[in-house]
Chains A and B, each alone.
Chain A
Amino acid sequence: MSYVPNTARDQRLMLEAIGAPDLDSLFEDIPADVRDPTLDLPPALSEMDVVAHLQDLASRNQDLTRQISFLGAGWYDHYVPAFVDQMLLRSEYYTAYTPYQPEVSQGTLQTIYEFQSFICDLTGLDVANASMYDGGSALAEATALALNATRRTQVLVADTVDPNHRRIAATYLEPLDVSLEVVRNWNLAGDGALGEDMAPFAAAIDDDTACVVLQRPNFFGWLEDVEAVVKAAHAAGALVIVVADPVTLGVLQPPGEIGADIAVGELRHLAGPPSFGGPGAGYFATTRQHVRRIPGRIVGRTTDGQGRPGYVLTLQTREQHIRRERASSNICTNEALIALAATIHLAGLGRNGLRHLAELSIRHAHAAIEAQWPKGYAVATDRPLVREFPVHCPAPALEINARLRQQEIIGGFDLGGEWPELSDYLLCAFTEKTGPAAIAALHEALPAAAR
């Protein structure tokens, strides 16, 4: 069904009003040799049949509701309470567009203002935008801001930043006359333990450095000692960008307090199920100093003619529709609905709930760290871990994962896919869903998975 209300009779009456003989006559500007192609598409399905077809496709996935999963690697499987999705189903939110007309968009605008406030609270920074496509593009835009603000040409990224974030930033920066260097800030000891090595930053930071990018917790799950790097970067006039998981910010030091000039990260796991990786939403926060360089939409609070408070899109001269070829970004989207879901969830969690949620993940992870691991398996670092950690395995992680899948367990992220020397390492993530029972099931399955 095409959902078109106008019947043949309506069409005839309208064509008469237009003075056109038929619908074809409305398309005569299209060159005749290419007009009216035959489209070879599958036949239309009724609503009942299209649902059955999508259910059939869905049944060909092994979704997380039927398995125990320790997959994270930047994309976490949190339980999102029912009221969040119920609110998202309100037509007034999901069938509205960008709040260009503030008088009829106060709902969306106020939720964005609250979102910005939450992100400032979480990150300890002064200003946040209305969100970006995802954590990776937020990082790319953050590096672009740093390059612009410092008029320098070099971006230094820790190797322990989410590899996909690094790749996205590299794609965005490629056409510009700048360099993006990955700094190897970890090492592998003879006993198989992963260690930290922040020293290479000291050598890499110089007068060309626009920014250094760090992640907390890092991709391997631990909290790096970043104090010296932050100091060195600031002393050299470079900005510090921190990628941070918003859930663990419920308990961890906010990036602003450890010297970040910009904080970015992925919000998807506060908004809903993993959705095969998209849509996500990236948050972007910075200091007051950079407010007029922030990419994307920003909402501000003001008043109307009668003094009533209200909200508007503001500082719009930064954006592409006004600055055109001189805009530093072409973004004209915020991931409004995902950011809204995160906002509603955060509002429900509040001061105590977000701490609680973060603490559940952390306590589950630490229960696993302290547990006796089956023979041949070991937690592979002594760094301060938060909710995710590498496990050294007695066989390639790829093979172990394949065997675990037979028992409806997703073991974790195979680090060998990113670092060939870590092909025997699984990165296991913990949430409120992976409590003692899940850990016991994993430990029970691991011995057999090694052979």
Chain B
Amino acid sequence: MYPDELSYTREHEWIRVDGEECTIGITAYAQDELGDVVYVELPAVGAAVTRNDPFGAVESVKAVSDLFAPLTGEVTALNDELDAAPELVNKDPYGAGWMVKIRLNDTDELAALMDAAAYEGLVNELRS
């Protein structure tokens, strides 16, 4: 459910760190809570994002959830496939359902992220 190689936030995002570039998506728990994802609103490539600030939104049929930037940096890539197939977020949240790539400003921010075990603990708490 929560791959060990990824980092996580309390806002239910996952982060794959690859040097200074991070790939970001939402977790299996988040997509399950939202239900059928119908639209993903993302910033433009080149946009600056600030940690903990909203930078996009995920919409299901009857809900909309903000995406909060897990890290500060600049958007370097978007998953264009989500435009035509937002259901990828439900089907493959950690793979084809990725959302944006960000080039980090400050690698120190990585320390604030949770590991898989800590995140799973959070989910169990929320589920009970």
Q: Which residues of A contact B (CB under 8 A)?
A: 292, 316-317, 322-323
Contact = CB atoms under 8 A, between A and B. Distances in A.
12 contacts: A292-B39, A292-B41, A316-B62, A317-B39, A317-B59, A317-B60, A317-B61, A317-B62, A317-B63, A322-B62, A322-B63, A322-B64
B106 to A, nearest CB: 27
A316 B39 contact: no
**Max chain B Cβ within 10 angstroms of own Cβ: one of A316, A317, A323:** A317
Nearest to A312: B61
Contacts, number: 16
Name B's interface SS. strand
Contacts of A292: 39, 41
Contacts of A316: 61-62
Interface string B81-95: 000000000000000
Interface residues of B, number: 9
Interface in B62-104: 62-64
B124 to A, nearest CB: 28
Nearest to B66: A326
Contacts of B62: 316-317, 322
Interface in B24-58: 38-39, 41
A136 to B, nearest CB: 29
Contacts of B63: 317, 322
B101 to A, nearest CB: 23
B39 A323 contact: no
Nearest to A323: B64
A317 B59 CA distance: 7
A317 B62 CA distance: 6
Given A317-B60, A317-B63, 6 more contacts: A292-B41, A316-B61, A316-B62, A317-B38, A317-B61, A323-B64
4 nearest CB pairs, A to B: A317-B59, A317-B64, A322-B64, A323-B64
A109 to B, nearest CB: 16
B81 to A, nearest CB: 18
Nearest to B61: A316
A316 B64 CA distance: 10
Contacts of B60: 317
A294 to B, nearest CB: 13
A316 B62 CA distance: 7
A186 to B, nearest CB: 40
Contacts of B64: 317, 322-323
A323 B62 CA distance: 10
A51 B41 CA distance: 55
A40 to B, nearest CB: 46
A45 to B, nearest CB: 45
A316 B39 CA distance: 11
